[in-house]
Amino acid sequence: MEELTHLDEQGNARMVDVGDKVSSVRIATAEGFIRLEPKTRKLIEEKLMKKGDVLTIAEIAGVQASKQTAQLIPLCHPLLLDKIKVVVQLDQQGVYVASEVRCLGRTGVEMEALTAVNVALLTIYDMCKAVDKKMEMHGIRLLQKTKQPL
């Protein structure tokens, strides 16, 4: 029976016990978007932002963040991740970010996928904030999570 609370008998916060679960291939995908002013989009496209190549740096930031999820989210289990893919694409309205995370484990990787997207978007925001005061992040969501028995 799956536990419904993250509190122990004394009312203290704790991680959910996944020790009795069978290891499975766990995959999660997530996405998000940041709306940009046309001038900001052009600077990114032409790689003229002062802080560097926004799209490449955002992808790397997303990968790094995914690996650090358990350090950022207090009750997340630390996981050995097998795959982290972050795709950052410029479009007419801004930048679309998608992630896919996979591991062999006893708990899902949706938090790692969402963390990758969020930090990639925050990296874009940070790199563009000097030239764009109207940036807006939205549509951050989990697209899919699966577990496949071995």
State the first-to-last Cα distance of the chain, in angstroms, to the nearest integer.
22
CA distance 7 to 145: 25
Bridge partners of 83? 102
**Among 17, 91, 126, 132, the one annotated catalytic:** 126
Residue 126 annotated in active site: yes
**Residue 74 Ramachandran class (φ > 0 left, ψ -120 to 50 alpha, else beta):** alpha
Q: Nearest Cα to 31, choosing from 133, 142, 148, 135?
A: 142
Catalytically active residues are 126
